[in-house]
Structure 1
Amino acid sequence: MVFVAQDGVKLVADRGGDPAAPAVIFLHGGGQTRHSWSRAVERLLAEGFQVINFDARGHGESDWSPTGAYALSDRAADLAAVTADLNAPFILVGASLGGATSIVAIAQGLKPAGLVLVDIVPEPDARGIDRIISFMRGHPDGFASVDEAADAVAAYNPERARPAAGRGLMKNLREGNDGRLRWHWDPRILETQSEFHQSVVREAAHSLESSSDLSVLLVRGLSSDVVSDAGVEAFRRQVPRLQLLDVAGAGHMVAGDRNDAFNDGVIAFARRVLGQGKPAMPSKITA
């Protein structure tokens, strides 16, 4: 289906499950598409949840902003449009840029029942963020083949198995008029990525302090170079009720590295927060 943002940008989404059921809304990371959540979506639908999984503006099949409007405030407004017609409680699951978007949306008045932040905190490790941006800035002329793109991904994340050069990876690529393959996102997005280094998310995160009825789960890959112990503790001082799920054998791309542990953690959280009658999660667990 398609949602239309307040500035006319069209957001392509997959939506499934009973429209009256509690909902889980997925927000992918920068440079990704909604397909990064595919296996998690399947599990949640099987568990009886309603799921909305959309391509962020400038990514995947969603429109590129004609004015280059890619600030977190623009993305938060998009999330408000996606949730506008929901008649059921919902949680947000946001990875990296999607998590930052979720925090800003809550600061702007969005009222989810719960928030899952996937490997992002208000005080991320600048070295990890710089490495992500360097990867996104790389290969501006694209790739001659899917194999070349797979090589680039493998070089960025050598601890993960090299991605198969098939349909899965092609969902993150598009063919230009010159016949070369480029990542399926607008390069102008990089002009706003410095927000990670500024105060936007940190300031917005103050809204989490006052939202005492909002459950917050941080899912961290134990091999992450973005979320450090210091970043976790700083966030916990701000949100003492913070729950932490540490996932062994996973880096920044937690859902891709350990999808089984990620799915189990998110489902347990969703059941508890959305009134499924399951016992509360401990404040810190390791999968």
Structure 2
Amino acid sequence: MTSAPESFLTDGHGGVRIAADRTGHPDATAVVFLHGGGQTRRSWAKAAAAVAQRGWQAVTVDMRGHGESDWSADGDYRVSSFAADVRELLRRLPPQPVLVGASLGGITSMLLAGELARGCAAAVVLVDIVPDMDPSGADRIHAFMADRMVEGFESLDEVADMIAEFNPHRPRPADLDGLRANLRRRGDRWYWHWDPQFIDGTAEHPPMEVTDVDRLHAAIAAILADGVPMLLVRGQVSDLVSRDRATAFLDRFPQVEFVDVAGAGHMVAGDRNDLFADAVLNFLVRHRPEQS
């Protein structure tokens, strides 16, 4: 059994307040979970619990502009700023954590461990993200995030219907209370929990690094050159990381380990948390046997 997660706050880059949870022994090696764009730290709850039960400290983070973390007053949503936030948070954890990043969180992990703070991580897990992602899949995700961004939703049922249409392979939940973590209530309507500037093109400093494939490939190469183990976990029906793009990435970086999760799309942990958690734990055990 593990204790309930402990919430804490830390100052990120430029004083932006970053919210996080941790569970497990505070002196154990930390596994830091970084969510994708439009998500929150709550998306990792089951995976974090599984990791903590096996002896690691699990830390889940709300990225700036998401969840309970501050929105950036000056519209700074550069991936390098997300990475700088995480670097500040790591100062509060034991050295040499494992970074687990999904989508935007994976790109953040690339720049943090391969450029901003080389040597900071003991291992890196990329969850359904490669530098050369499929643009049609990225456009589909962008359209989902932008839809109803301004007008919001009248009810949680409307939110559940929209998510079910976006993720048809995932059963629509009967209990909608879990959706509340992803939304904010204002007046009589529900709105997504993230800063619209992050997606609507008005941010003063948008996350342009996501399109700089050469820079991201260089970051991956630097991580591997430092001897840091890396795992790519792909959702088998993902439209962001197609099988061809995953193959090209693995051909370019044969040191990277790979797991293809059946029955999962881009939201791997949410679609098949059991298989996702097993893949991460197996990777951790191989590369941190003293924690097994």
Q: Give the TM-score taking structure 2 as reference length.
A: 0.90
**In the alignment, what sits opposite 1:264?**
278
Alignment check: 8 A CA contact 1:206 1:238 kept: no
**Distance 1:164-1:29 versus aligned 2 partners, 3 A rule:** farther
Determine which of 230, 241, 246 is the counterpart of 1:232: 246
Consecutive unaligned residues in structure 2, runs of 5 or more: 1-7
Opposite residue 264 of structure 2, the aligned amino acid is A
Larger deviation, residues 144-153 vs 14-23: 14-23
| SS class of match (1:20) | coil
Matches within 5 A, 1:50-89: 50-89=57-96
- Equivalent of 2:116, from 108, 113, 117? 108
Per-residue deviation, 1:210: 2.2
- 1:79 CA drift (Å): 1.0
Indicate which of 216, 219, 232 corresponds to 1:201.
Answer: 216
Partners of 2:224 and 2:255 within 8 A in 1: no
Aligned to 2:12: 5
The 1:204–1:262 alpha-carbon spacing in structure 2 relative to 1, beyond 3 Å, is: same
**CA deviation profile, 1:121-168 (whole Å, cap 9, x unmatched):** 011111111100010110121001111111111111112111345221
Does residue 135 of the first structure (1) align with residue 144 of the second (2)? yes
Q: Does residue 1:97 correspond to 2:104, yes or no? A: yes
Contact 1:20 1:88 in 2 (8 A): no
Return the alpha-carbon distance in structure 2 between the equivalents of residues 6 and 83 of structure 1: 12
Aligned residues: 276
Amino-acid identity (%)? 45
Other structure's SS at 1:7 match: helix
- Shift in Å at residue 27 of structure 1? 0.3
Q: CA deviation at 1:277?
A: 7.3
1: CA distance, partners of 2:135 / 2:19: 31
- The CA deviation at 1:19 is 1.9
Residue 152 to residue 74, structure 1, CA distance change in 2 (3 Å): same
8 Å contact from structure 1 (residues 150, 164) kept in 2: no
Decide whether the 8 Å contact of 1:147 with 1:165 is kept in 2.
no
2:158 aligned with 1:148, yes or no?
yes
Report the counterpart of residue 129 of structure 2 in structure 1.
120
Per the TM alignment, residue 230 of structure 1 is displaced from its structure 2 partner at its CA by: 2.5
